[in-house]
Structure 1
């Protein structure tokens, strides 16, 4: 059979690359892979706070401004510093008001950090409110279920609060009743003591009155007896007075007689002596 003959061409394979020349330098092993816990670990809040503190006031930077030397400060802090000095508070390089610029990136980062801290410290209700205010898309069905949950939660909280208030009121009334009973018991004891003291005082008063009446009666009897016996003692007194006066007269007469007898005896003795001579 006839036909044109097409010469067959064989594809030539590309030459293989020369074997790599083995270098005598030791190969550096690749660094070990980082554990996933470290890869996912975010900088702690303390580190973030330390990085965003103003070196002047040591508070979180407000209105961050960056210097030409790369340090960031609060705008009012660095402005007040530059009024007194012309150097950087961190590195002491020459610095003026013309060498400070707003640090927009740091301000944005600070806003995010403050928002994150606010969300972390806020209550779930506040987070929900902020989420709704930020325009989060929520369906009507989700809102209905959320409202029903809120209504149930409100009813339970109101019931629990009412029970707590009733228990507090009951405890207060029990304490008040106990206190009043103690006061009543004390008052009853005081009244009993007053009654006993009143009885004792009345009894003592009657005794004193009886003793007074007895003394008055005895005194009256003595006065009556004295008034009845008064004439007889007067006659006796008169007699005694007369006897005493008579006795005194007789004693005077006897004394005078004795003196006269003594004189006569003396005269007789004298006369006898005269005769004997």
Structure 2
């Protein structure tokens, strides 16, 4: 099942994508794609609805982030060995955790906004895991039962803010529109193996990243279990699981985004995104 949210920013409605590719309005069934709706019981209730009985939505409508009410946007750093190598860093002995501000979250095709003072805005295609049920101290064997589904995310990063300024990575990861999420939340049952999905990203039509989730150092089940030892995970929380090689930071010479660029990215079975790169209109 592919769930989504559509409409203007801040006023999105819940929807689903039916088998024909038509967006259907779920607002008469659920209030939003978040909270208890993400539990197994909540998702089963949506499955019992006949999509053909739901109103069709204009295919040109804006898609918002595919989940509502995200309390935490947790990122796993250096989770692909070849990406760690291109960054000049060792594979960490445990998952590296950092946070992205939830205010960075936006729709899958909303623009990448280069913030004031940025010269090193970079791209990162990543598999996002959406939590469906509160998870605390869960085992790796049970971890997947707490997952509602998966989505594409672009973990946009400002490398100077992230690496060259004092402090933690958060400020290089949290600028407005640095967290495109969607187009869909693909439910757990519809993804046979989250550790075997091809993923790609292009800039102006040129392939930059071409990888697979099979090369993750720490897989989804391990990451969910690991995080739950340190914090409760709640419905709607997003875990961004790392990126394969091909980011601008790792190139020689390094390459970064500029206004006028177009970024496209996708993950097998989870859809794709397209973003225009613009300067901050408030900058």
What range describes the TM-score normalised by the shorter chain of this pair? under 0.3
Structure with a larger share of its residues in helix? 1
Structure with a larger share of its residues in strand? 2
Structure whose alpha-carbon radius of gyration is higher: 1
Which one scores higher on RCO, CA 8 angstroms, separation ≥ 6?
Answer: 2
Give the TM-score normalised by structure 2: 0.16
Give the TM-score normalised by structure 1: 0.17
